Amino acid sequence: MPTSVKIFDTTLRDGTQGEGISLSVEDKIKIARKLDELGVHYIEGGWPGSNSKDIEFFERARTMTFTNAKITAFGSTRRKDSIAADDINLNRLVESGASVATIFGKSWDFHVTTAIQTTLEENLNMIYDSVRFLKSKGMEVIYDAEHFFDGYKNNPDYALQTIKKAQDAGADWIVLCDTNGGSLPNEITAIVTTVTQNVTTPVGIHAHNDCELGVANSLAAVQAGARQVQGTINGYGERCGNANLSSIIPNLQLKLNYDVISADKLKTLTSVSRYISEIANMHMPANQPYVGNAAFAHKGGIHVSAILKDATTYEHTKPELVGNKQRVLVSELAGQSNVLVKAQELNLDFNKDAQKTKEVIEKIKDLEHQGYQFEGADATLELLLREAFEGLEEIFTLESFKMLVEKTSNHAVVSEAIVKVKVHGETIYTAAEGNGPVNALDNALRKALIQYYPDIKNVHLSDYKVRVLDEKDATAGKVRVLMESTDFNSSWNTLGVSSNIIEASWYALVDSLRYALISRQRVEPANKDQQERLGLVNH
């Protein structure tokens, strides 16, 4: 039977101390539900005594049902030279309605004498009294030994005394904190081993990532006897962040064979990680282990050729185990294997040794030399491959477009686009205004197409990015425009490259709408005759 390790998530408390992260009460409720669905054992909701937002969170959490997790309230030991029963913060932990209280106390003698300016003996009393008070109120108590590893390295005898006081008072867990994130895995292993030999209370680890060792230190602690791991999803947290649970959970379960969460719940890890990044409005690094978009992405032709034979040649685990998926990228490094895999994904039937395949590869390399980058533009790549192997017809062709930008006397700037396109042999002129040149172009093109493809109204631009490719040429440099579009059921990316930002935007915009039109599940043409005419043309 695998040894069980409990997961303590502090995304809602420690994670929100990260730069750029601010969660509303509603955000915290949504994340708490997701964490519970993932199967974490403890969710630290915040510090009830610190702000009205956390107070409201605990009020709402009291009315909710959590299937897997216990909601935990965070606070500190009582103030020096006071009585625990009279301490406002301790009483707010009790009043929060949470069944679990996590309190931190000082383990480093330097902090005792310098930060809180009291005696070593009084600090021990603060720890004992606080834990004892919360236990008398029927709460499960997790004692976080703040700065424990730094304290142990400076004065091991005193550091051990502090956690023994928490144990004597009835703490259910003693969690050793590498608060400054400066310890090394070998130090963690040695100290946790010593601690587990000196206390009988279950031990946990709370690591920070200041030396890029938060995950490694957490794993080292578990292997040395810790049975609870504290961290945050995606490693959010103050300074360099907390230990990343999105990596710790699969490492414990898949690599070290600990019992953490069920296999079915592990398959939701990627979606939970990405969901929380969206709620937190934080960019999700593509190369984040296990859950990142590039975690199982392959670009080099030799690599792709090998994974076609056996994925384990270049993948350390199966991406499906954590809810991710294998991706093959097509770029200037691509060989025939890359194009073969991509075509198989699109159900395109062709011979991998055909001359056409080589031509497609050469075209991709040429376009990338011009500034295209297909890893981030799945839809533009699909259009290119479908045109090469299926010979798709034109949907519409551009005859011309004209842009007018006018600054009026009332200081408003108005953009107008005039578009002339040919659809089904008919030339159509349209004009439309927008809050910018690209928006005006988008409106004018839709105006021309919507009479033939009315459902195109469901397609919307959700993101727009511009990158200058030739910085040395300043405003005359070539630019790459990346667009993300959605129909609210799915999303796709297209791109365009030009020395003119409007032209680059036009290419990306046209690919976006053409991609929607050839995807039968997204937009249906007005009638069957028009449906048979679906296709596209190259720029």
Residue 300 pLDDT: 63
Measured CA to CA in angstroms, residue 114 lies from 78, 84, 117 at distances of: 17, 22, 5
Residue 456 pLDDT: 83
Q: Tell which wins on pLDDT, 536 or 308.
A: 308
pLDDT at 349 over 70: no
pLDDT at 350 over 70: no
Residue 149 pLDDT: 98
d(C-alpha 328, C-alpha 338), whole Å: 6
Compute the average pLDDT of residues 2-7: 96
Query: CB neighbours of 360 closer than 8 A, spacing ≥ 6?
Result: 339, 384, 385, 388, 389
pLDDT at 500 over 80: yes
Query: CB neighbours of 56 closer than 8 A, spacing ≥ 6?
Result: 25
Measured in whole angstroms, the distance separating CA 359 from the mean position of its chain's CA atoms is: 37
Q: Phi then psi for 258, rounded to 5 degrees? A: -90, 155
Compute the average pLDDT of residues 363-392: 75
E strand or H helix that includes residue 76:
strand 70-76
pLDDT band at 521 (very low <50, low <70, confident <90, very high): very low
Residue 539 pLDDT: 37
d(C-alpha 274, C-alpha 220), whole Å: 27
Query: What average pLDDT does the structure give for the chain?
Result: 86
Q: What angle do CA 19, 25, 29 make, to 5 degrees?
A: 105
Per the document, the length of the chain is: 539
d(C-alpha 138, C-alpha 136), whole Å: 5
Q: Tell which wins on pLDDT, 450 or 529.
A: 450
Compute the average pLDDT of residues 355-372: 73
3-state secondary structure of 255: helix
E strand or H helix that includes residue 27:
helix 25-38
pLDDT at 255 over 90: yes
Residue 465 pLDDT: 81
Least confident of 16-25, 44-53, 92-101, 351-360: 351-360
pLDDT band at 396 (very low <50, low <70, confident <90, very high): confident
Q: Phi then psi for 245, rounded to 5 degrees? A: -65, -25
Structural domains in the chain plus CATH codes: 6-261 (3.20.20.70), 297-386 (no CATH), 396-531 (3.30.160.270)
d(C-alpha 314, C-alpha 301), whole Å: 12
pLDDT digit string (tens) for 206-236? 999 999 999 999 999 999 999 999 999 999 9
Compute the average pLDDT of residues 448-476: 75
